[in-house]
A and B are shown apart, each in its own frame.
Chain A
Amino acid sequence: MKTHFPKYERFLATLFAAWLCLAVLKIFKVDFGLNLFAFFKILLLLTFILIILEVKKRWFEIWPIIKASFARFRAGFGEAFSQYPTFKSKAIHFFPLVFHLTWRGFKRYALFKDILLAFCLFGILFDIFIFELSWDWFILFLTGLWVWVVRLHRFEGRVSIAGGLIFLIMCPFLLIFQKEPIAEKAAVWAYMFLLVGVVQMVIEYIKELKN
């Protein structure tokens, strides 16, 4: 098992690279006549097997983490429970308690600034390259999220400007390869990033003047 495990990992990496290679070749009209979706499903299945094997291999490391998390959660629940002393007698307090716990969990894990940054970036990339339709509310939501991420990470205005420029540079190449819908979305995001960057720079300028 120990000797075969790295080989299996290597095999999966090669398989993924092969899939990627075939997908790229297909874009350039070199079609191997393979069903890439079926290939990807098999790849996912094999990755799932790898995850199970990995968990099995590192169970002695994972189990204490699970145990510690569970203990922490139980302690947190006890603390929250103590804030609702009449919970036992009044079932109406159950929903505020659930809300309170959910909000705490959300604040603790989902609002973690790196996760938000990753979510925002992946959201933008998905919007440009994966989603075929364009939703205004989604663009606005992601823009708002980007503003929040900028505030959390204390990014300077030039970070947003750089993002905008990257999308702007992307546009002509996408147009050369006749990917007009993607280029259009990239242009929208270039504008959004430039807008956020300019607003940030104006704010920074005002702050500097005040100082």
Chain B
Amino acid sequence: MRQYPIIIFSSLVFLVSLFLFKVIFPALLITTAFVVLSILFGKFWHFKKTPALLLFIKSSTNLIISIILALSVFALIYFPCEFFVTEVWFWIPKIPALTAVSFLIFLVFVFNLIDWGKLVKIKFAWLLMLEVLVLVAVSVFVYRDFHQEKLLRERLPKIYRVSRPWAIQEQEVRVQGVNFFPSFKQGKVVVDGQEMLIRFWSETLIIAEQQVPTKFGQMNLSVVRKDGVASNSFPFEIRDPATLINF
């Protein structure tokens, strides 16, 4: 009699996975996995009172909850931070790989300290579980949004540093960033429509010289790539040499 629920649920799993993947083979694979797992679970259920199985379930629950929470909090904190630091504020092109790994290890360590088995037994455990589920759901959305947005912006030209905030004619400016294209696909450095003279061009560094300007004042510097895609703008001032004292 126990086989009927398995058949019904496996049909449901098949339909849902078919709807999600739109291909029959992965859906079949998931359904097979579900059936095998259900049968295994049924076999294990006979030994539910065994101390060894209880210990196994307790340790596995702790382990799985710790991992899920660590990954969720990681997604909630790290992805927005990385996105803002590298794509919005343009502080650094890339966060060092070890930072992310160390942060995840730290989170795993923290969540591992908590005995989840005990927490499940408290009075408002369902509320706690609900909070955990909400956290996981939010983290999935955060991961999806920030990750997709980052992937979209990954290939765009970006300026992270300009060697000086202002220049006068014939002065050189070093523009550091990423995705400027190689030297054989040179673009241009523009300050509010006024083009600078390119002295050196590479994927991550441009050395440009300020030509005789048509106007002075506070403007924005940006790099326009060969394919016409413009980078983020950087505040830059073109000064009048006549106004400089003791230059």
Contacts and interface: CB of A to CB of B under 8 A. Distances in A.
Interface of A: 7, 10-11, 13-15, 17-18, 21-22, 31-35, 38-39, 42, 173, 176
A197 B108 CA distance: 47
Nearest to B67: A18
A14 B112 contact: yes
A10 to B, nearest CB: 6
Interface string B96-120: 0110111011001100110000000
A18 B109 CA distance: 11
Nearest to A33: B100
Interface in B72-118: 74-75, 82, 97-98, 100-102, 104-105, 108-109, 112-113
Contact of A14 (B67, B82, B98, B101): B67
Contacts of B112: 7, 10-11, 14
Range of interface residues on B (Cβ < 8 Å)? 20 to 34
28 contacts: A10-B59, A10-B63, A10-B112, A11-B108, A13-B63, A14-B62, A14-B63, A14-B66, A14-B67, A15-B105, A17-B64, A17-B67, A18-B67, A18-B71, A18-B108, A21-B67, A32-B104, A33-B100, A33-B147, A34-B104, A35-B97, A35-B100, A38-B98, A39-B101, A39-B105, A42-B101, A42-B105, A176-B25
Q: Which 3 A-B pairs have the closest CB atoms?
A: A35-B97, A176-B25, A11-B112
A96 B104 CA distance: 55
A10 B67 CA distance: 12
B109 A11 contact: yes
B29 interface: yes
Given A11-B109, A17-B63, 12 more contacts: A7-B113, A10-B59, A11-B112, A14-B66, A18-B104, A22-B71, A31-B147, A32-B75, A33-B100, A35-B97, A39-B101, A39-B104
Contacts of A39: 101, 104-105
B70 interface: yes
B84 to A, nearest CB: 15
Interface string B42-83: 000000000000000001001110110011001100000010
Nearest to A41: B101
B193 interface: no
Contacts of A11: 108-109, 112
Interface in B101-146: 101-102, 104-105, 108-109, 112-113, 143
B70 A18 contact: yes
A39 B106 CA distance: 12
Given A10-B112, A32-B74, A38 B63 contact: no
A34 B105 contact: no
Contacts of A35: 97-98, 100-101
A27 B70 CA distance: 20
A116 B105 CA distance: 37
A32 B140 CA distance: 11
B101 A38 contact: yes
A67 B240 CA distance: 86
B235 interface: no
A211 B223 CA distance: 88
A34 B96 CA distance: 10
Nearest to A25: B71
A34 B82 contact: no
